[in-house]
Each structure stands twice: as C-alpha cells, then as structure tokens.
Chains A and B, each alone.
Chain A
Amino acid sequence: MNNFEIWLVIIGLTLVTILMRSSFLMLGDYFPLPERVQHGLRYAPVCALIALVTPELFLAQGSFDVSITNPKLIAGVAAAVITLTTRSMIAAMAVGMLIFTALRFLLPASL
C-alpha cells in the first residue's frame, strides 16, 4: 500500500470503529431492545473478558494444550488462584509473570 492508501485505511478504520461504538448510544431510542435482552447484557462484560482470556491460556500455536509444559496455562491458573485468595491484582500479575518467564526459560522446547 502506498502512503495515500494507508491514510485511507486509517480514516476508514476510524469511521467503522466510531460508528460501531456509537451505534446504540445514538439510535437506541429508535430500536428499543426487549427487557429480557437488556437484562441479559449485564452478563456481557464477564463473558467478553473470559472469552479473551481462555484461548490465550488453552491454545498453544493454535492447538489445544493442557499440560505442565504450557507456560501460559500454568501462569494463568496461578494468577487465578492468587486473585481468588488474595484479591490483589498486582500480586496476581507479578506471580503470573514470574512463573511464565521461569517456565519459558526452563522449557525452551515448548516455544
């Protein structure tokens, strides 16, 4: 892509993104959602966040990997345990990152 085309892409991405973000904020009054759906949306945050996490933990190079040699899974589970026991986000991230880095060095084959 040349300079002009890349700027065109950037402008296009800007428009698509802001239109999607503003969709219901702008038009929600004209397209009222059923009460049930509106109510169900309260579960959207947790579902979206969990759905971002699990593929990162359970898939290694695109294939299902539940084993001790999957550094992301081990580190992620450790971070989850720390979160549930201490409620400290910083501790969870620090321990998770330590385990992740240590395992990557100890298990070079898994990379």
Chain B
Amino acid sequence: MRPRSLRTRPPWGHALSLGRPGAHRLRREGFVLGVRTVAPLLIGTGIWGLVTGVAMVKVGLSTAQALGMTLLVFSGTVQLASLPLIAADAPLWVVMLTAAVVNLRFLIFSAGLHPFFRRYSVGRRWLLSYFMVDMSFAMFLSRFADAPHDERGTTEQVWFFLGMSAGSWLVWQTMSIVGIVLAAEVPAQWGLEFTAILALIAMTLPLIAGRPALIGAVTAGVIAVIAAGLPLKLGLLVAVVAGIAAAMSTEILLERHAGKTGGTT
C-alpha cells in the first residue's frame, strides 16, 4: 500500500508557485495526514497519559516536579519505570541505568529513522528526537520503509512525522496534566490502562504484511512472554531483536526457496 503522499512533488506543485514548488502545501498535506493517521490511537495515548500523571503524584512528586517530568522526559515507559525507584530511594545511577535500558529500543527507532532525517540540521534533529515515541516510529516506518533512497526525508514525510508528533504530544501532555491535577480523585482499580493495550492490538495487526513479518511478530510475541521476568524491561529488547532476526531469516529462506524452484514468490 504505497500512499500517494509518497510523491516528492504533486502534479499541481509547479502550477501553484513560482519558487519552491508547493512547499507550503506539501507541509500542510503531510501534517494533516500525520494527524489523521495518529488520531484513532490517541484514545489509548490519552488514557495512558492520564494513568502516568496520576502515578507520578501518587509516588510523591510535587505538582511542579510532575509537570517538569512529563514536559521534559516525555516518555511514559521511562517515567513509569523510574517511579518505583524514586519511591524506594534508589541511588541516582540505578535510576539512570534503568532508564537507559528501558530506552534501548530508541536506538533501534533512531537507526530506522536516520536515513529519513539525516539531512536536517542538528537543531531540528534534536527536536525530532524529542518527539520520537513508539507509535509515531511504527506508523512512520511501516508507511515509508519501502521508499527508494532518493525519496527519503521529503518535506511531506517529515511533516507527516511532525503531524503525528503534535497529536501525540498534545493529547499525552493534556491528559497527563489532568491526571496530575486530579490524582486524588482517580481510583487505581479502573483498569483503564488496558485500553492502551487494546489500541496497540488494533494498530499492530494490520501492519503485519507478508510471511517474514508474521513470523517475526509471532517470535517477538512469544519471546516477550517468556522473557517478561527479566529485570529492567530487558525482555522487550530481547523479544524485538529475536523478532527481527526471525523475520530476516524467513526472508532469506524464502529467497533461497524461490531461487531453487525458479519461482517468483
């Protein structure tokens, strides 16, 4: 499913402007598409943000600290992983190490996005980094992974990413602040955080296209359950690496098989 937005330059680009063809429209089109793509997922984001906001206050952070944490760190996983350590008065280096390990998946995300964002200035790359979250990475790469090398990092793609980021950021921060303010009123046993998992299911399954992706997904899913007991959320990383390895092996096997039979699968 190659989206039409992949085109570097729309046909009306030249007709509408004299200088850089349709740059403004490309930006707006990419941004709007990003917002639309992320919109259905924002229910999960909002509830997850609310839960995180409540959790920060329940652990004993002041309102200012909780606001500072959500605005500066902007990562639910890191925040939720560090809260028990803060509550337990763990040494600073333990909290940092935990955050680094929980964040290891960002190395993969960062490497995946590098071909698309490499041509941007250092300042802009910092900004794009701040907005990097699981959902925007997944939606971005599953849409553009097949773009040829010279069509990577187009204005539209970057603004698509910014559109998803703006939506996620706004909803996450708003709901986190609601959580921080209303922490005392929200009971812990609503089970609302499960909506985030349901949103992930609904978002992930349509992305599984082709046999390598299916094998990779099944592998990652199984390993994640088996390795869930590992400390520091390392199970997630092990599962991702195993899933990628399984998907790539499947790809190689299929290629070999196709080569042997002379088929064109």
Contact = CB atoms under 8 A, between A and B. Distances in A.
Mutual binders A and B: yes
Interface of A: 1, 3, 5-14, 16-18, 20-26, 28-29, 33, 36-59, 62, 64, 72, 75-76, 79-80, 82-84, 87, 89-90, 92-93, 96-97, 100-101, 104
Contacts of A5: 92
Interface of B: 40-41, 43-44, 61-62, 65, 68-69, 72-75, 78-79, 82, 86, 89, 92, 95-96, 99-100, 103-115, 117-118, 122, 125-126, 128-130, 132, 134, 137-139, 141-142, 145, 191, 194-195, 197-208, 212-213, 216-217, 219-225, 228-229, 235-236, 239-240, 243-245, 247-248
A72 B212 CA distance: 27
B216 A55 contact: no
A46 B208 contact: yes
Given A41-B111, A80-B201, A93-B199, A47 B225 contact: no
Given A13-B82, A17-B99, A93-B198, A58 B216 contact: no
Interface SS, A side = helix
Given A18-B126, A26-B125, A75-B198, A44 B110 contact: no
B100 to A, nearest CB: 5
Given A12-B96, A59-B225, A48 B138 contact: yes
A4 to B, nearest CB: 11
B224 A44 contact: no
Given A33-B111, A101-B191, A22 B224 contact: no
B126 A48 contact: no
A46 B224 CA distance: 13
A14 B145 CA distance: 29
28 contacts: A6-B65, A10-B68, A13-B99, A17-B74, A20-B107, A25-B110, A25-B113, A25-B129, A37-B111, A41-B112, A43-B213, A43-B247, A44-B141, A44-B244, A47-B220, A48-B105, A51-B223, A51-B239, A54-B225, A55-B225, A55-B235, A72-B197, A75-B194, A76-B201, A82-B202, A84-B205, A93-B43, A93-B195
A24 B107 contact: yes
Contacts of B89: 1
A59 B115 CA distance: 37
A68 to B, nearest CB: 18
Contacts of A52: 134, 197, 200, 224, 236
Contacts of A82: 202
A46 B126 contact: no
A50 B247 CA distance: 14
B3 to A, nearest CB: 16
A15 B9 CA distance: 38
A2 B96 CA distance: 17
